[in-house]
Each structure stands twice: as C-alpha cells, then as structure tokens.
Amino acid sequence: MLQGSLDNFTLDEVLNLLSGTMKTGHLRLSGDRGTGSLWVDEGLLVQAEASNVVAGGDWEDVMFELLRFESGNFSFVADEAAPSPDDALDIEPLIERGRELLVEWNSIEAVVKSPDHFLTPVASLPSEQVMLTNAEWETVIAIGEGRSVGQTCTALHVGELKGCRRIKSVVERGLVGIEPPTTRRSSGDLDSPAALNEAVVDSAPSNVLSLPVAPAEAEVEAEIEEIAAPIVAAVPPTPPPAPPSPDEIRQFSESVDDVSALGDTPPPPPPPPEKSELGVNADGSAAADDEASLLMKYLQSES
C-alpha cells in the first residue's frame, strides 16, 4: 500500500506517478475539503468521486474539487477495481484542465467572495435593452427576490464552480447586486419563526430591552413532568396492606358476639329523684307534696 501526506506530495504529483508506472487500483483522499476517490486502470483514470461535488457532476467538477485539497492524507490500494468504471481517460490532460480551472477560480473569488454572500436583482437595468444568455436568465430567476450564493447554486442544481461562474457573469453585467453576509439575510434564512424573531431583535435599537415571554401552559406542564419524572421513579410503590392474622380475626368475632348478646331490650329508666326529710328534693328544690300543703295553708289563713 502506498500512502502519504498531501503536505509532502501534491495530488497531481501522485497521479502522475500512478500514470507513469501504469498502476491499477484505488486512490483515497481525506483532508480539509472532505474525501475523494480515484480509480486507475493501467495508468488511466476510469472513475473519480469527491464529497463536495453535486450529483451529476462531470470530470471537470471532480478534478477541480480534488485539486483544491490543501492538506490531508492519501492512500493507494493496488488492484482494487472501480465499482462503476467509465471510459478510460489520460490523467495528464485532466490535471492540466484542473489547473486552468483553479486559475479561473481565483478570478471568480475576486467577485464572489464566499457562498454566504447575498444576491439581489438590481432595481433598474444598466441600459434600456439587455440581452441575456439562457444561463444568465436561469441565474436571475434562481436568485429571485434574494438568495445567498450557496442557495443559488443549489437552486440551479450545479456545483460551486459552475454556479459561481454564472453569478460572476450577472454581477459584472450589473444585473445583480452582491453584499457581504453580515449586512443581509437571505429569504431562505427567514423561513422559521426563530429566525424571524432573531431578525427583529437584531434590528431593534440597542437601548431597548426585550421583555421576557411567559412560557406556554403546555411547555410548563412538560417541564414539570420532566422534573418530577426522576423523583416519582425514585419513590418506591406503597405495598398493599397485610391480611389479618388468625388472632385478629378471632378477637373481632368475640367482640361481635358480645354486642349481639345485649339483645334488643331498652335500658331501664333512671330512678326518680330522692326526697329529703325536710321536703326538699335532692337538687335543692321543694318537693311537690310540701308545695301543695303550703299553698293550702296559705289559702286557709286568707279565708
């Protein structure tokens, strides 16, 4: 197995070595721009892939992406066949074309500085009549009311190189304006309510304090359940009461028997109050007979 670092050997040097020695196998790359794979058959390139190349990308897209690796590692496994080989191509012309694309990319980056830069159509055209190519018109339609560079490439279904090449053309012709990502937000970034709230806060004056928002009732209940769940889980379940013992059953039966033995006879009435020898009841009141005799004596004296 052949392996090494891209810090010591560039990719084109490794490919020229495999081509010159008529090698067959699989070259793997892993570095600052993701991963990549190239399969050679007797020194000819039969398949290539790169992690940042969109589906349907051609040889130019793949070679341009792989040649942009600035750091990483490579390894070559001999005699490993390509899973989906294409027409065999000479490596040297592909490397030369990749270098040309890197030179073109330097001029593109001077206009389109990053995928996060924001694009908007201009309010008025630079002249009364403007002729657009089909690619330029598609680019303006993809930008719509405003999108970032990366979002426009995605809408066009092309890779970074071809997408930025189109964007550079419409920007240089004065059809589209481009701004740094710190000054504008794309429409796709404002789709969610959270992004909208953030945009409102960012546009508010710095001396305005936002009031706290009370959480919704459902959120409060969810937080309570989340807090109580481990507490409830830690409390052991209450065991069921133990059945009565035979002694307790016997004592209960005897108490029931004692109550039933009393029968239905009502209790006897309380005894009448006792009379004292002086004609005064036990509670201190005069007896009824003495009161009657006193009244009789009073009537007889009046008559």
pLDDT at 184: 58
- Would you state the pLDDT for residue 3? 87
pTM of this structure: 0.56
State residue 110's pLDDT score.
95
Cβ contacts of 225 within 8 Å, gap of 6 or more: none
pLDDT at 199 over 50: no
pLDDT in tens, 19-72: 999 999 999 999 998 999 999 999 999 999 998 888 777 888 888 999 999 899
pLDDT at 17 over 80: yes
Q: What angle do CA 125, 129, 132 make, to 5 degrees?
A: 80
Burial of 281 (0-12, 13-18, 19+ CB in 10 A): middle
Of 148, 141, 153, 194, give the one whose Cα is nearest residue 53: 153
Distance between CA atoms of 21 and 228, rounded to whole angstroms? 70
Evaluate if residue 114 carries a pLDDT over 70.
yes
Confidence grade of residue 2 (pLDDT, cut at 50, 70, 90): confident
Q: Which percentage of the chain shows pLDDT scores above 90?
A: 44
Tokens describing residue 250: 């016997």
Q: Which residues contact 88 (CB under 8 A, 6 or more apart)?
A: 41, 44, 45, 46
Range 79-97 average pLDDT: 92
pLDDT in tens, 118-134: 999 999 988 888 999 99
Q: What is the pLDDT of residue 187?
A: 45
- Six token digits for residue 206: 């710095």
8 A C-beta contact, residue 137 and residue 107? no
Mean pLDDT of the chain: 78
Rounded distance, CA 58 to CA 62, Å? 6
Put the strands of the sheet holding 72-78 in their side by side order: 2-5, 72-78, 25-31, 34-41, 44-50
| pLDDT in the model for residue 225 | 72
Phi, psi of 144 (to 5 degrees): 60, -135
Q: What is the largest CA-CA distance in the chain?
A: 167
> Where does the pLDDT of residue 207 fall: very low under 50, low under 70, confident under 90, or very high at 90 and above?
very low
Q: What is the mean pLDDT of residues 252-277?
A: 56
Residue 211 pLDDT: 45
Task: Say if CB 153 and CB 159 are below 8 A apart.
Answer: yes
pLDDT per residue as tens digits for the range 151-185:
999 999 998 999 999 999 999 999 999 999 886 55
Partners of residue 275 on adjacent β-strands:
281
Domains in the chain, CATH or no CATH each = 2-108 (no CATH), 113-189 (1.10.10)
Q: Is the pLDDT of residue 100 over 90?
A: yes
Q: Tell me, what's the pLDDT at 234?
A: 59
Query: How many percent of the chain have pLDDT more than 70?
Result: 63
Question: pLDDT per residue over 213-239, tens digit each?
Answer: 555 566 656 766 776 666 656 556 666
At position 99, the amino acid (one-letter code) is R
Q: 48: which strand partners? A: 38
Tokens (6 digits) for 36:
């990549």
